[in-house]
């Protein structure tokens, strides 16, 4: 690879990092409640306060954050993590596309640009946030690549590499493997002769459901006798599973230009213009996930993987296909130009000029609405600067129970080490917390304080209930014992 090509990919990676970091240009804290939740769980690991349960299915990711907490303040450093990890994901995508396509550099480079254009919001999440889902992205690209290459090359070594990555995802984000079962199964059936021939070797893949089931039993303490029935129910993600369940527009995920080129890429694969079997899994991926999304919208049930996550698995399947489509469009224009009757110098100038104009147009329409987010799924700003200072004040006090608004409480444990009465979603009784701040009578407030054995009240407004004021700046902090 030439120095110019290396420079271009470095430039694309820097651009990816800058665009993913953009929400933090004017906000230095995590932007999603999931990020705050995982920071809290990582810090709880050290104190033996880990909640387990549903949260336990992400313990691998939280262990990684716990390790990082030994070297840095997670709350202040987290803003860098999504951008840094997006570079890792984009680089893995470049490598997989480059090798999958027989070293077609421009296709791999275009894939990185389309990857950077995938949109983010608090419902479908996305590259702007580092969560178990986004952490899993490069591993998804890798296990799909190793699996398909292993089948095509009849390489058991590559197949084992794919299996190892799948197993590593079980304690990190098992759904990031589960969602792929339909399209990998269909792909496998298309290569049935090889699987029949090597059935003894491929039986090792049955270790995946066994490991997954044992991990689920361990985290939920489900009895062996009811394990299969419980798993069958758990893998039906009904409406109400997520915090937000909107009928998201597909344009909240990806651009029209990207979709058009991805559709072209799928068509080229299915009609055999591009190497059909080599790229078949990459065409089946968005098709099967799209069908799952449509099934949920009709039945309110999503099987194997939840609707919100399927939206993002659909989005991350598209950059390779969009790049394939764009590369073929450019080749078409280039071939047409070469066949025209004109001077060679003029022909070269016309060819390069038309490609540059096409690339600029595609780039413009790909990123045009990148920062447009519907109001109901706009970014959270959980903690503001003055609230952060108040929580640092609490950090100096012995750990106890604090009641604050659910918004501020979402970041309370991560910053101060105190236990919140309730956060937006993951902890406690949110209605009681909201009732406390709505109540005008001190008697009703005191009832809630007594119920949860609260020591400190953090309020955006002064409260005249005879409590001791220990922090006389907004937000105000009271010692109520």
Check whether the bond before 463 is cis (ω within 30° of 0). Answer: no
Please, which residues have CB within 8 angstroms of residue 216's CB and are 6 or more apart in sequence? Answer: 57, 222, 227, 230, 231, 234
Of residues 54 and 105, more confidently modeled? 105
Is there a domain that residue 187 lies in?
yes
Is there a domain that residue 132 lies in?
yes
CA distances 30 to 94, 187, 239, Å, are 28, 39, 27
The pLDDT of 64-90, averaged and rounded, is 96
Domain extent, residue 412, equals 385-479
**Quick count: other Cβ atoms within 10 Å of Cβ 91?**
17
Q: What is the pLDDT of residues 196-250, one digit of tens each?
A: 888 888 888 878 777 877 777 777 777 777 777 777 777 888 876 766 666 778 8
How far, in Å, CA of 20 to CA of 16, rounded?
Answer: 6
Q: Is the same domain home to 355 and 398?
A: no
- Residue 287, pLDDT > 70, answer yes
Q: Is the same domain home to 355 and 414?
A: no
Of residues 351 and 188, more confidently modeled? 188
DSSP-derived pairing of the beta strands 401-403 and 419-420: parallel
The pLDDT of 317-326, averaged and rounded, is 96
How far, in Å, CA of 49 to CA of 53, rounded?
Answer: 12
How far, in Å, CA of 20 to CA of 287, rounded?
Answer: 27
How far, in Å, CA of 254 to CA of 413, rounded?
Answer: 35
Q: Per mean pLDDT, which of 133-137, 268-272, 306-310 is the most reliable?
A: 133-137
Which CATH number covers residue 431? 3.40.50.12610
Least confident of 120-124, 207-211, 266-270: 207-211
Q: What is the pLDDT of residues 376-414, one digit of tens each?
A: 667 878 999 999 999 999 999 999 999 999 999 999 999
Sign of the Cα pseudo-torsion (400, 403, 408, 411, in order):
positive
The confidence score (pLDDT) of residue 455 equals 96
The confidence score (pLDDT) of residue 354 equals 64
Is there a domain that residue 429 lies in?
yes
Q: Is the same domain home to 371 and 432?
A: no
Judge whether 109 and 90 are in contact, CB under 8 Å: no
The confidence score (pLDDT) of residue 168 equals 92
Q: Is the same domain home to 332 and 398?
A: no
The confidence score (pLDDT) of residue 245 equals 65
- The confidence band for 340, taking pLDDT boundaries of 50, 70 and 90, is low
pTM of the model: 0.92
Q: Is the same domain home to 366 and 440?
A: no
Q: Is the same domain home to 201 and 327?
A: yes
Q: What length does the chain have? A: 481
Farthest CA pair distance, the chain? 91
Judge whether 456 and 418 are in contact, CB under 8 Å: yes
Q: How many structural domains does the chain have?
A: 2
How far, in Å, CA of 31 to CA of 52, rounded?
Answer: 24
Least confident of 99-108, 268-277, 436-445: 268-277
Is there a domain that residue 230 lies in?
yes
Of residues 217 and 83, more confidently modeled? 83
Q: Is the same domain home to 432 and 370?
A: no
Of residues 224 and 160, more confidently modeled? 160
Residue that terminates a domain, selected from 375, 393, 423: 375
How far, in Å, CA of 301 to CA of 303, rounded?
Answer: 6
- The confidence band for 117, taking pLDDT boundaries of 50, 70 and 90, is very high
Is there a domain that residue 380 lies in?
no
**Three-class HEC string of the chain:** CCHHHHHHHHHHHHHHHHHHHHHHCCCCCCCCHHHHHHHHHHHHHHHCCCCCHHHHHHHHHHHHHHHHHCCCCHHHHHHHHHHHHHHHHHHHHHHHHHHHCCCCHHHHHHHHHHHHCCCCECCCECCCCCCHHHHHHHHHHHHHHHHHHHHHHCCHHHHHHHHHHHHHHHHHHCHHHHCCHHHHHHHHHCCHHHHHHCHHHHHHHHHHHHHHHHHHHHHHCCCHHHHHHHHHHHCEEECCCCCCCCCCCHHHCCCHHHHHHHHHHHHHHHCCCCCHHHHHHHHHHHHHHHHHHHHHHHHCEEECCCHHHHHHHHHHCHHHHHHHHHHHHHHHHHHHHHHCCCCHHHHHHHHHHHHHHHHHHHHHHHHCCCCCCCHHHCCCCCCCHHHHHHHHHHHCCCCCEEECCHHHHHHHHHHHCCEECECCCCCECHHHHHHHHHCCCHHHHHHHHHHCCCCEEEECCCCCCCCEEEECCCCEEEECC
Judge whether 480 and 467 are in contact, CB under 8 Å: yes
How far, in Å, CA of 11 to CA of 280, rounded?
Answer: 30
- The confidence band for 441, taking pLDDT boundaries of 50, 70 and 90, is very high
Residue that terminates a domain, selected from 349, 375, 401: 375
- Report phi then psi at 373, rounded to 5: -125, 130
Judge whether 459 and 449 are in contact, CB under 8 Å: no
Q: Is the same domain home to 325 and 439?
A: no
The confidence score (pLDDT) of residue 324 equals 94
Is there a domain that residue 464 lies in?
yes
Residue that terminates a domain, selected from 355, 375, 395: 375
Q: Is the same domain home to 371 and 224?
A: yes
How far, in Å, CA of 307 to CA of 305, rounded?
Answer: 7
Q: What is the pLDDT of residues 442-456, one digit of tens each?
A: 999 999 999 999 999
The confidence score (pLDDT) of residue 424 equals 84
- Residue 145, pLDDT > 90, answer yes
How far, in Å, CA of 225 to CA of 242, rounded?
Answer: 28
How far, in Å, CA of 87 to CA of 92, rounded?
Answer: 9
Is there a domain that residue 293 lies in?
yes
Least confident of 173-182, 219-228, 256-265, 402-411: 219-228
- Residue 339, pLDDT > 80, answer no
Q: Is the same domain home to 181 and 76?
A: yes
Q: Is the same domain home to 153 and 93?
A: yes
The pLDDT of 283-290, averaged and rounded, is 96
Is there a domain that residue 40 lies in?
yes
- Residue 346, pLDDT > 60, answer no
The pLDDT of 312-329, averaged and rounded, is 95
Q: Is the same domain home to 326 and 428?
A: no
The confidence score (pLDDT) of residue 264 equals 94
């Amino acid at each position: 690879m030439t120095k110019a090509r290396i420079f271009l990919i470095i430039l694309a990676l820097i651009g990816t990092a800058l665009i993913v970091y953009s929400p933090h240009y004017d906000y230095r804290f995590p932007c999603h409640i999931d990020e705050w939740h995982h920071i809290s769980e990582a810090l709880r690991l050290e104190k033996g306060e880990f909640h387990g349960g549903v949260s336990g299915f992400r313990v691998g990711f939280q262990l990684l954050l716990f390790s990082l907490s030994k070297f840095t303040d997670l709350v202040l450093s987290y803003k860098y993590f999504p951008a840094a990890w997006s570079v890792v994901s984009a680089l893995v995508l470049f490598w997989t596309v480059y090798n999958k396509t027989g070293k077609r550099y421009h296709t791999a480079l275009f894939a990185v640009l389309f990857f950077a254009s995938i949109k983010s919001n608090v419902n479908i999440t996305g590259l702007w946030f580092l969560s178990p889902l986004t952490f899993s992205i490069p591993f998804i690209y890798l296990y799909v690549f190793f699996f398909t290459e292993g089948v095509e090359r009849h390489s058991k070594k590559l197949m084992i590499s794919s299996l190892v990555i799948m197993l590593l995802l079980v304690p990190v984000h098992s759904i990031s493997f589960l969602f792929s079962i339909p399209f990998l199964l269909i792909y496998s059936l298309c290569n049935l002769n090889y699987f029949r021939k090597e059935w003894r070797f491929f039986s090792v893949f049955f270790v995946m459901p066994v490991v997954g089931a044992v991990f689920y039993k361990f985290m939920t303490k489900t009895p062996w006798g009811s394990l299969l029935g419980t798993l069958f129910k758990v893998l039906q993600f009904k409406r109400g599973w997520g915090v937000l369940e909107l009928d998201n527009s597909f344009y909240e995920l990806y651009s029209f230009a990207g979709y058009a080129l991805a559709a072209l890429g799928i068509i080229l694969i299915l009609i055999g213009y591009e190497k059909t079997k080599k790229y078949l899994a990459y065409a089946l991926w968005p098709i099967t996930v799209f069908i799952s999304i449509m099934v949920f919208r009709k039945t309110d049930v999503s099987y194997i993987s939840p609707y919100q996550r399927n939206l993002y698995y659909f989005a991350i399947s598209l950059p390779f296909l969009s790049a394939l489509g764009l590369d073929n469009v450019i080749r078409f224009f280039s071939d047409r130009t070469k066949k025209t009757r004109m001077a060679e110098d003029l022909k070269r100038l016309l060819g390069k000029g038309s490609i540059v104009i096409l690339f600029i147009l595609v780039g413009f329409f790909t990123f045009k609405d990148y920062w447009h987010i519907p109001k109901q799924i706009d970014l959270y700003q959980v903690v503001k600067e003055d609230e952060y200072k108040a929580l640092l004040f609490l950090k100096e006090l012995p750990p106890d129970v604090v009641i604050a608004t659910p918004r501020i409480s979402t970041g309370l444990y991560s910053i101060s080490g105190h236990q919140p009465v309730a956060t937006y979603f993951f902890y406690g009784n949110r209605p009681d917390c909201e009732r406390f701040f709505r109540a005008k009578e001190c008697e009703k407030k005191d009832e809630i304080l007594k119920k949860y054995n609260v020591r400190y009240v953090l309020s955006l407004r002064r409260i005249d209930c005879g409590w001791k004021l220990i922090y006389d700046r907004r937000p105000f902090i009271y010692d109520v014992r």
